[in-house]
A = this chain, B = another copy of it.
Amino acid sequence: MIYMLEDEEGIRNFVIYALRSSGMEAEGFETPSALREAMSEELPELLLLDRMLPEEDGLDVLKNLRSAPETRKLPVIMLTAKGTELDKVEGLDSGADDYIAKPFGTMELISRIKALLRRASDAPAESEKLEAGGLCVYPSRHEVIADGTMVTLTLKEYDLLLMLLRHQGEVFSRESLLREIWGYDFAGESRTVDVHIRTLRQKLGSCGEVIQTIRGVGYKAGDGAVD
């Protein structure tokens, strides 16, 4: 179970929905007191904590948690507004286990949550490797091999490919890709996705075919025919 303390309803709903879609149990709270009440009932495995809250600073909430024995070890990810402390690497002194800058995409959120849960449970880091068609992606190296040759992708191209490959066969609408990768408050056109898909296919050469267009719906990646 994952708890989230965030005063903005939009973001809260977005995150809770994203987490549940990823198969996690999640519950959101608007105020520190609501969170505290819930925590007295059931402790979450991980807490997402907004740094800026109207009444009480997120750091204070965190401090309180750290001073109570039952929540001392609770994994906490702090959500901070971009620009504020983003450039600064906050010390671990403040007690958060990780930080995410707003606005974040689902992809980043999920991967950080998983990373922290993994860390907390003392499991070894998985060195992922994704394959499809003649494609091979090494996340830790940020490298993509297409038909034996290495191709250089920009960040968005890379993220798109990763997203599609991690869910092979699944179709993603442009909107959901925007939310996953660009973040919840991206204001641009959905055609932006098209453009990146195009450059991505181009760079992948013949392997670009693993990315299929589902007309009227979106895109998906897959080795072979499914339907």
Asked if residues B11 and A92 are in contact (CB atoms below 8 Å), the reply is yes
**Which residues of chain A from 61 to 76 have any CB-CB distance to chain B below 8 Å in the complex?**
66, 72-73
Asked if residues B140 and A93 are in contact (CB atoms below 8 Å), the reply is no
Interface: A55 (CB within 8 A): no
Asked if residues A187 and B145 are in contact (CB atoms below 8 Å), the reply is no
Checking B9, B88, B93, B179 against A73 with a beta-carbon cut-off of 8 angstroms, the contacting residue is: B9
Interface: A108 (CB within 8 A): no
Asked if residues B141 and A226 are in contact (CB atoms below 8 Å), the reply is yes
Asked if residues A72 and B119 are in contact (CB atoms below 8 Å), the reply is no
Interface: A107 (CB within 8 A): no
Interface string of A183-227 (1 = CB under 8 A from B): 011111111000000000000000000000011110010001110
Interface: A95 (CB within 8 A): yes
Give the complex CA separation of A91 and B178 in angstroms.
Answer: 11
Given A10-B92, A154-B215, A154-B216, 7 other A-B residues pairs in contact with their CB atoms under 8 A: A13-B92, A17-B119, A87-B191, A91-B103, A142-B217, A142-B220, A155-B217
